[in-house]
Amino acid sequence: MTSPYRAIFAAPGSRAFSAAGLVGRMPLSMLGIGIVTMISQVTGQYGLAGALSATTALSGAAIGPQVSRLVDRHGQARVLRPAAAVTVLSVAVLLLGVRAGAPHWVFFLGAAGVGATPSLGAMVRARWSVIHREAPELLHTAYSFESVVDEIVFIVGPILSVGLCTVWFAEAGPLLAAAFLGIGVLLLAAQRGTEPQPHPRAHHAGGSALRAPGMPVLIVVFAGMGAMFGAVEVITLAFADERGHKALASLVLATYALGSCLAGVAFGLAQPRGTARGRFLLGVTLMAVSMIPPLLVGNLVFLAVALFVSGLTIAPTMVTAMSLVERLVPRARLTEGITWTSTGLAVGVSLGAALAGRVTDAHGASTAFAVPAGAAFLAAAAAGLGYRRLRPAPEREDVHGDDDGDEELGPIRALERHGDVA
């Protein structure tokens, strides 16, 4: 392990909570695809499968940030266990309902409860934020490392979930996802030494992380990015199927994730230059530009290359976004703030996948790549229009005052002044 990564794990307990976060994050990539595979296997109704998957996504968007808000107020250990218990019980209701041939409303009841799944990625990043609060360069590396972990989860999780559902028994994928969540939460909640202190008094007056001026901007941008991700997955599968190599779609998508993984590792070793909001704007813009080549490719090899290049823009942009959230919201609402970005991403993935499927059916996969490209450019436009709102919370201005100097500069001049690089 190279020096910066060795340095972040020098803190006592850091390896343990990061490992627990990895285990607990597996359901993020396993539950949705596992439910779709299970329902399609048992009932053959893809419409029902898609509706249940959408229910879990929308439920998570509504409940997830509220769970994180409770975490900020009462602490991780007190909230994570009951939230995970609700999720595991909901998965059990869904699986038993499927096994028993229960009415469909039972399926939807279970799917709705899955929305209580706590965001383990937000919990882990909140711990890193406390540990390396006085060392921004180490926090940057820690966020980069967690971005790589996210990519690993999204590479391994779907393969594991779909494989178990199809090879073992239909309910195996969601069942294992629930087990991962329970184990990860128990391991993380037991580590009290690195748990961020709750802020009950800061929440008595009400309010939410959404009241930070820049948070709505980030959520809209993340929704656009999520739509890009969801659309790319659906279209790549259709693109490979049209050319008679459907099985190769997973390998092509793996190059997408590989590009992000490598960029995340490299970005963690780099010393960030300029302002976080400037780097974020540049990263989202490069992400949008990288969606142009897939519109032009004609075979799987060139698509894999194009997606690998596009993947190089993902992790640096995500890492910078987490740094922005850490600046934008009051410390007492950090976990909630991080979860809101994940919510925007999840909603975007669902919308992007649905729209991409309709366009693919009507006009073919090659034409459908206009969907992720359009979503990415909309995200870049939102980042540009909301650039001035991405300023530190008042309590952070003395720590992150480097962002304030750009108040009167447009985004392009800010990039020129600081020489921002992704």
DSSP track, 92-136: HHHHHHHHHT--HHHHHHHHHHGGG---HHHHHHHHHHHHTTT-H
Higher pLDDT, 21 or 5: 21
Q: Residue 42: count other Cβ atoms within 10 Å of its Cβ.
A: 17
Q: Residue 46: count other Cβ atoms within 10 Å of its Cβ.
A: 11
Q: What is the mean pLDDT of residues 62-74?
A: 85
Q: What is the mean pLDDT of residues 246-273?
A: 81
**Two structure tokens written together for 368:** 């459908």
Distance CA 407, CA 389 (A): 9
Of 343, 335, 57, 348, the C-alpha closest to 227 is 348
Do residues 316 and 283 make contact, with C-beta atoms less than 8 angstroms apart? yes
pLDDT of residue 298: 84
pTM attached to this predicted model: 0.73
Distance CA 421, CA 177 (A): 38
* DSSP label at residue 198: P
pLDDT of residue 225: 92
pLDDT of residue 46: 62
**Two structure tokens written together for 219:** 């959520």
Angstrom CA distances, 86 to 30, 63, 66, 320, 350, stand at: 17, 12, 14, 32, 23
pLDDT of residue 401: 45
pLDDT in tens, 215-225: 888 899 999 99
Query: 87 falls in which pLDDT band (50, 70, 90)?
Result: very high
**Two structure tokens written together for 350:** 């669902």
Q: At residue 269, does pLDDT exceed 90? A: no
Of 126-135, 149-158, 378-387, the least confident: 149-158
Angstrom CA distances, 35 to 51, 150, 239, 260, 359, stand at: 10, 20, 24, 26, 24
Q: Which domains does the chain have, with CATH numbers?
A: 1-199 (1.20.1250.20), 208-422 (1.20.1250.20)
Mean pLDDT of the chain: 81
